[in-house]
Structure 1
Amino acid sequence: MGGLRIVAIVLIVAGALGLAYGSFSYTKETHTAKLGPLSVSVKEKETINIPQWAGLAAIAIGVVLLVTGKK
């Protein structure tokens, strides 16, 4: 399998996942304070929305790369 073909398949899979889920979230630690034996930390949950056009564009580019890569 060539490198271009692998990139095309990854784009297609990523685009399909983006369309299926629509968003993903992660937790990041923003503040930490340590006062003697006491430790306090603040964690924020961030959500990233994936636009439908981005998923469709990734799938389309992946398909184009697969088709043109065979020549």
Structure 2
Amino acid sequence: MKAATIVGVLLILLGIVGFSMGGFSFTHEKKDVDLGPLQVQHEQKKSVPIPPLLSTLALVGGVALVVVGVRSK
């Protein structure tokens, strides 16, 4: 397979995941106080939304790269 086809397939998968999940979230530990053996910390959840426009662009770009990769044979 050509590089354009592989990148195209990856972009298509990324676009599908972006539409299905809508974003991703992760947990970050933050230290509030650090006094020797005494530590106060808390977990903070953050979420990053994936805009539908970005998912659409990834999907369309992936399809275009797959078409270009197939036609160049």
Partner residue in 1 for 2:69: 69
Q: Distance between the aligned counterparts of 1:12 and 1:48, measured in 2?
A: 20
1:4 aligns with 2:4: yes
Deviation at 1:32, TM superposition (A): 5.0
Question: Contact 2:4–2:68 (CA<8 Å) still a contact in 1?
Answer: no
| Fraction of identical pairs, as percent | 37
Alignment gaps of 5+ in structure 1: none
Aligned residues: 71
Question: What TM-score, normalized to structure 2?
Answer: 0.82
1:46 aligns with 2:50: no
Alignment gaps of 5+ in structure 2: none
2:8 counterpart letter in structure 1: A
Let me know the Cα RMSD of the aligned residues.
1.5
